[in-house]
Amino acid sequence: MPTDILPLTRPEQSDSLIRCGAVCFVGAGPGDAGLLTLNALRAIEAAEVILHDRLVSDEVLALASPDATLIPVGKEGFGPSMPQDEINRLIVLYAYAGLRVVRLKGGDPAIFGRLDEEIAALELEGIAWSVVPGITAASAAVAAVGQSLTSRGRNASLRILTGHVMEGFAEQDWRALARSGEVAAIYMGKKAARFIQGRLMMHGADPATPVTLVANASRADQQVLASTLGTLAQDLAASDLTGPALTLYGIAPRAAAPALSDIRKQEVS
Taking the chain (269 residues) in consecutive chunks of 10 residues, what is each chunk's mean pLDDT?
48 41 93 97 97 96 97 71 93 94 97 95 94 97 95 92 67 89 93 92 96 96 96 94 93 69 52
Measuring CA to CA, which residue among 130, 124, 128, 131 is closest to residue 21? 128
**Residue 176: C-alpha distances to residues 135, 139, 160, 165, 247 (Å):** 27, 23, 14, 21, 18
Give CA–CA dist 100/89, Å, rounded.
16
Q: Per the residue annotation, which of 4, 15, 67, 75 is the catalytic one?
A: 75
Q: Can you list the domains of the chain with their CATH numbers?
A: 13-132 (3.40.1010.10), 137-268 (3.30.950.10)
Active site residue 53: yes
pTM score > 0.95 for this model? Answer: no
Whole-number pLDDT of residue 262: 53
75 noted as active-site residue: yes
Three-state SS letters, 14-26: HHHHHHCCCEEEE
* Residue tagged active-site, from 32, 53, 108, 190: 53
Tell me, what's the pLDDT at 16? 37
Residue 266: what pLDDT? 54
Taking the CB of residue 199, how many other CB atoms lie within 10 A of it?
Answer: 18
Helix (H, G, I), strand (E, B) or coil at 35: helix
